[in-house]
Every structure is written in structure tokens, then in C-alpha cells.
Amino acid sequence: MDLSHILLLLVAGVAAGTVNAIAGGGSLITFPSLIATGLPSVDANVTNSVSVFPGYVSSVVGSRADLAGQGRRVRAIIPTSVVGSVAGTALLLLTPGRVFELVVPFLVLGAAATLAFQDRLRGLVGHPRHMSARRAAVTLQLVVFVGAIYGGYFGAALGVMYVAALALILDEPLKRINALKNVLSASVGLVTVVVFAIFADVHWGSVLVLAPATIVGGYAGAKLARRLPAKVLRYLIVTFGTVIGLILLYRAIR
């Protein structure tokens, strides 16, 4: 890597860490940046997954105040997240990704729309506080599992989809849901780090540049997210999720 590549990755890492903490989707900043440095797409994907993990961890640290009282919930969903993440990384390493690439944009756009029309959808499916404890628990596990599969496979906009889905099934303020999203993203990220470090071709030089930058951005983004009003945070997540979905759709059909 030359100096211009290093500077590109530093800026991309800080921006991605911040975006991941606030809305999710920072991988669409770092992934193209890694491609721009000359890495093949698959190598860039696995290198990106390893690089952004420290940023997820710093996001958890930055949002830990909003995790208060959610310890039991976190302990219940982490095993499900791990299993789903392993399945997702296996899909990436063992199967062609063309079909999934075509599906992903619609998943992201659907997630953004879900969050945008959250109140109306709650009117159809019922407010979380009206769900039975059993139904809420089963639905939460299903959402976590499906999201973890996606996160292990590619992961861009994982945060957008998690926030959108969790907001429908949890009777919690958006800031606390965002904090839970950070924990789930970090658990998915840990699995991808372990699996890809063993079985994939990770470009460790790029990781050494990107990872510290995502830590800085992740911590700053988590702090910023806690200070934003709920409506502003929802607007940012919906807007960014829509942009991400359109970019992914363009890349898939071009």
C-alpha cells in the first residue's frame, strides 16, 4: 500500500465506525475503499469484516449506558447470534453469492421502509407490549438468527435491519434498541474474525490501518447517537438505509 491508500483507509475507517454506531452500513464505505486499494472483491469482503469488528466493540462501550437492564436479554440472544453468524460465514466461503447479491438490496430497502412506517406496521402486527412473552421471545430469537446469517455472509446495513426489526418487537426507546444492535453487530463481527482469520485470505496490512480508525469512529458515533432525538436518529437510519439499498441494487444489476 502507498500513502494515498493508507490515508483513504484511515478516513474510510473513521467514517464507517461512526456510521455503524449511529445507523449501520459502514461496510459500504470500507468495502469499496478496500477494492480501490487493489484487493479482489472476496478478499476485500473478508478483510472488511475483520477490520470493522473493533469499531463494533467500541460502539458497545460507547452505548453501554443504554444497555442497563438488558443483561438477561443479551445473554439469551448471543448464542443464537453466534450460530447464525457461523452459518452465514459458511455460506460465503462455500457457495456462490450471485443470487444473494440480488436479494440483499431488497432486504435493506425493506428494512428501511419497516423503520420508516414502524407505527403503521405496529397497528397491523400489534404493539410490542400487547405481545405474549412467548411470542416476543420466539420472534426476537428468529430476528437475531436471520440477521446473524446475513451479517456473517456480507453484513452491510446489518445494523439498519436489526434496528428496524427490533423496533417492531421490543417495547423500548430507539436508543436502547440501537445499543442492543451494537451488541449483536459485535457478536456477529467476532465470529467473522475467527472464521475468516482461519479459513479466508485476510489482508492484514489493511486491517492494521482500518481497525484503529473504526474504533475511533465507533466510539464517537455511539456517543453521538445517544444525544440525538429519537426522530432524528430514525430519520438518519431510514435515509442511510435507503441509500445503501439503492447502491447495492445498482451494483447487483449493472
pLDDT at 3: 92
CA 249 to chain CA centroid, Å, is 18
Calculate the alpha carbon distances from 1 to 6, 34, 160, 211, 250 in Å: 7, 11, 32, 16, 28
Alpha-carbon distances of 9 from 6, 136, 155, 209, 213, rounded to whole Å = 5, 41, 19, 7, 8
Domain ranges of the chain: 3-253
pLDDT of residue 247: 86
Site of grid cell 412467548: 134
Greatest Cα pair distance, the chain, in angstroms, is: 57
**pLDDT reported for residue 126:** 65
User: 139-164 b/e with 16+ CB inside 10 Å = b?
Assistant: bbbebbbbbbbbbbbbbbbbbbbbbb
In one letter, which amino acid is 153? Y
pLDDT of residue 249: 87
Report the distance separating Cα 70 and Cα 67, nearest Å: 5
Q: Report pTM.
A: 0.83
Segments in the chain below pLDDT 50: none
The Cβ of residue 82 has, within 10 Å, a number of other Cβ atoms equal to 16
C-alpha grid cell, residue 184: 449483536
How far apart (Å, rounded) are the C-alpha atoms in residues 3 and 144?
40
> What is the three-class DSSP state of 230?
helix
Q: Residue with C-alpha cell 430476528? A: 143
Cα-Cα-Cα-Cα dihedral sign, residues 158, 164, 170, 174: positive
- Average pLDDT for the chain: 87
Q: Which amino acid is at 235?
A: Y
pLDDT at 149: 95
User: Nearest CA to 206 among 32, 6, 35, 36?
Assistant: 6
Closest CA to 163 of 22, 19, 13: 22
Q: What is the pLDDT of residue 127?
A: 66
Q: At what angle do helices 174-199 and 3-22 cross, to 10 degrees?
A: 140
Ramachandran angles phi, psi of 233, nearest 5° = -60, -45
37: enclosing H helix or E strand: none
Share of the chain above pLDDT 90, in %: 36
Specify the pLDDT at position 34.
92
